[in-house]
Structure 1
């Protein structure tokens, strides 16, 4: 038995020495990192429920640019504001590509905006940004849509009659209706069963992607396909989601008026018809469906999760909630509809909203990037086909840029005179060429929904503020807040 263990140890060490020798012989100078085992890499020492914690710990030993192996996949992890900014902004072209994430590829097959690269990504991003802006993203028209939806949201909380409720569905319905208006040209009734089913699937999808089981699929996809488990259930639910979106697209095809496009799908159909004789076009049904799915899921889940987390923190810190309400009452009152113009007169409220996003840290690992060619960065060579992790968690918790990075502190965004101040390390939407296309929409939604709610209600927990646990339930692909109940008391 002892001899067998010794032989195994010698074999492992020999393989590792061979790998290091080949790296040296090939001229590659990879960033340093923890010792990796064949086939499984650093999985044995990785904190499965929160991988970013392991990356942060390892960076203290190996520096802000390090190599990690997850299974057989080589990754280069970038840690800290300066490092991430240098990569995504100063070397933007080198770091603009997306990694082929197995779970996402299984669903989208390389189509759509989020995971595509090259000419497909460039054309789809340009078209998507232009179309969303034409329909008012970041402008007055979109502001009016959100204001109208906020009335439905306020009414839905009024109907609770101050009884304890889980805010998840309230926030999801409101936020999703905004993106549905943009993409599908319609909003849904809050009790629409099909709408509620789609929202449940999106919630399940994000939770699965952030669970250890979801990460296991991304590490060993071929093996996982052969095994039973939650991933097969999830793929079945995604097929239902796809079917619903395809039904909406078919309705748009039947009713299309090329002279009067009403939403994103109409605009895509018009462009598709214009380029139907171009064999190299990226405007075809696969990209139309995948991009619509990208916008619908991302536009629903991330913003609604941020709003749910915001109310959680305001319940946890009632004095901050009260201070926001006093500022809102002084500037707007309790009856006038909030506008984006009000934000500059609400510095404390604006600071709290920014601090909520910083503390939520919704995408701690960022959406993985990829080296489509050999990249030279800070004296290291990042070889082609390396997954790159520009850690947003390390930026939003960078001790060189935040006075108290581990605590909820709106003072991070206020100067000595109580005026709002920007912080360059505020990067929840990422940066560079892959910055979130819906950033301006998300900022508008978060501000208008939060202010509208605090105008009308005070929020509390049935068991008091000490019962609220703001630590995430899941922390992998995304930070998923715990479920909780709140009471919305009319003011």
Structure 2
């Protein structure tokens, strides 16, 4: 009788969990954007978004966008110097002439506003910095609440219904909804001011194309929801992941003062102090560029990249991979391969320099992936990495006190670091 009762209880619990999960897992009207899809949807939407974002300066040289970014960099420097309000991310440092900056939170407005001119038509005003930092913190929560495989909830999806907070399900949904709501606001603003003869940014171009497609009454991937999620796919990495990558870099050079001194020397001799670094300076500052490459190698943001799907039966090095198999690439193993790097655990920018001090022509790192699914924001990220870090190092020395060690990573969809206060001392 006891055994029979236990079986009935187990069946009842299973039925309860199944019904509970069925309620939670009802299909949502949430289209897939461009990052986590494949097939014709991915081809069309990625091609369209990249083509038209580039028209507004994304991922290429653009005087207008570079001027916007330079203005943003100047605002960041002013905040660190105390010339404008830092709203909780800047503190006085009584023990030195420097000021303490909360990383990565203090960088969120700058990294977000580097993208917004192309996506939204202009930078957010300074009074919106607090809201942008809130978005960035939501992005951190989203990145930390899951991983590239989907986490434990993927293996046991009913946990999302039984213990939504403990499983991380609520954090993932709430943090992504924070970004989604802001993107919906941007789209609604543009709908009210759209003019066919004046395409101000990517949102305008997408809305115009969407209306044209819908008039034909033929099936189309263009929709309001698809636009919102495509914006999410670009805004979350730009706002949050870029700030995290910049912070990893600053941590690397702080823990290697020899590298920091050499970067200062190179920036002083090539650029000086009379102007900010520009993209024209990149070929003339090989050591600084090498230090960025080395940071992206040592601190791999996405150790197992993003899952891919085999679209057909194939064979790789003797292994049969059936169609629809999920394939995961271990980028961390590439970046830590002793046969390739000799001493992969060491932060050594010289590995990217030739004997004459110039950059190596071949870069074997894969921080942005490779192939057709290469991250569409690679060029944009590398450019802004150079401009933001170049300006910070040109103007400040960063003290090691309070900076956590490089092994203090928090796992997730992107490897993040704990927030910390770093002292920036004017040079």
Tell me the TM-score normalized by structure 2: 0.85
> Which of 227, 234, 254 lines up with 2:163 in the alignment?
227
Answer yes or no: is 1:128 the counterpart of 2:49: yes
Answer yes or no: is 1:244 the counterpart of 2:167: no
Structure 2 counterparts to residues 13-52 of structure 1, below 5 A: none
Answer yes or no: is 1:385 the counterpart of 2:307: no
Answer yes or no: is 1:139 the counterpart of 2:61: yes
Q: Which residue of 2 is the match for residue 286 of structure 1? A: 225
Unpaired stretches in structure 2, ≥5 consecutive residues: 1-23, 83-89, 93-97
CA distance 1:168–1:262, shift in 2 (3 Å)? same
Cα distance in 2 for partners of 1:240, 1:302 equals 16
SS of the aligned residue for 1:166 comes to strand
Unpaired stretches in structure 1, ≥5 consecutive residues: 1-102
> Is residue 73–residue 388 contact of structure 2 (8 Å, CA) maintained in 1?
yes
Q: CA deviation at 1:383?
A: 1.6
> Is residue 473–residue 481 contact of structure 1 (8 Å, CA) maintained in 2?
yes
Cα distance in 1 for partners of 2:31, 2:329 equals 21
Cα distance in 2 for partners of 1:150, 1:384 equals 47
CA distance 1:274–1:234, shift in 2 (3 Å)? same
Q: Which residue of 2 is the match for residue 409 of structure 1? A: 348
> Which of 70, 73, 78 lines up with 1:155 in the alignment?
78
1:35-94 C-alpha deviation (Å, 9 max, x unpaired): xxxxxxxxxxxxxxxxxxxxxxxxxxxxxxxxxxxxxxxxxxxxxxxxxxxxxxxxxxxx
Q: Which residue of 1 is the match for residue 388 of structure 2? A: 449
1:92-130 C-alpha deviation (Å, 9 max, x unpaired): xxxxxxxxxxx9x98884521001211110001111111
> Which of 302, 309, 312 lines up with 1:370 in the alignment?
309
> Is residue 315–residue 460 contact of structure 1 (8 Å, CA) maintained in 2?
yes
Answer yes or no: is 1:488 the counterpart of 2:424: yes
> Is residue 106–residue 133 contact of structure 2 (8 Å, CA) maintained in 1?
no
Structure 2 counterparts to residues 3-402 of structure 1, below 5 A: 109-137=30-58, 138-141=60-63, 142-159=65-82, 160=90, 161=92, 162-192=98-128, 193-210=130-147, 215-229=151-165, 230-276=168-214, 277-402=216-341
> Is residue 339–residue 448 contact of structure 1 (8 Å, CA) maintained in 2?
yes
> Is residue 143–residue 444 contact of structure 1 (8 Å, CA) maintained in 2?
no
SS of the aligned residue for 2:274 comes to coil
Using CA pairs below 8 Å that are at least 6 residues apart, which structure has the higher relative contact order? 1
Q: CA deviation at 1:203?
A: 1.5
Number of aligned residue pairs = 384
Q: Which residue of 2 is the match for residue 24 of structure 1? A: none
SS of the aligned residue for 1:164 comes to strand
CA distance 1:438–1:278, shift in 2 (3 Å)? farther
Q: CA deviation at 1:468?
A: 3.4
> Is residue 148–residue 306 contact of structure 2 (8 Å, CA) maintained in 1?
no
Q: CA deviation at 1:476?
A: 4.3
1:182-232 C-alpha deviation (Å, 9 max, x unpaired): 2122322345243232222112111212499x6112222233333231422
For the aligned residue pairs, the C-alpha RMSD in angstroms reads: 2.2
CA distance 1:472–1:191, shift in 2 (3 Å)? farther
Cα distance in 2 for partners of 1:237, 1:427 equals 28
Q: Which residue of 1 is the match for residue 409 of structure 2? A: 473
Q: CA deviation at 1:253?
A: 0.4
1:306-350 C-alpha deviation (Å, 9 max, x unpaired): 111111112111121111011100011012121111111111111
Q: CA deviation at 1:432?
A: 0.4
> Is residue 187–residue 203 contact of structure 2 (8 Å, CA) maintained in 1?
yes
Q: CA deviation at 1:147?
A: 1.6
Cα distance in 1 for partners of 2:176, 2:69 equals 27
CA distance 1:268–1:177, shift in 2 (3 Å)? same
> Is residue 403–residue 412 contact of structure 1 (8 Å, CA) maintained in 2?
no
> Is residue 351–residue 413 contact of structure 1 (8 Å, CA) maintained in 2?
yes
> Is residue 172–residue 301 contact of structure 1 (8 Å, CA) maintained in 2?
yes
Q: CA deviation at 1:278?
A: 4.1
Structure 2 counterparts to residues 435-446 of structure 1, below 5 A: 435-446=374-385
Q: CA deviation at 1:367?
A: 0.5
CA distance 1:470–1:283, shift in 2 (3 Å)? same
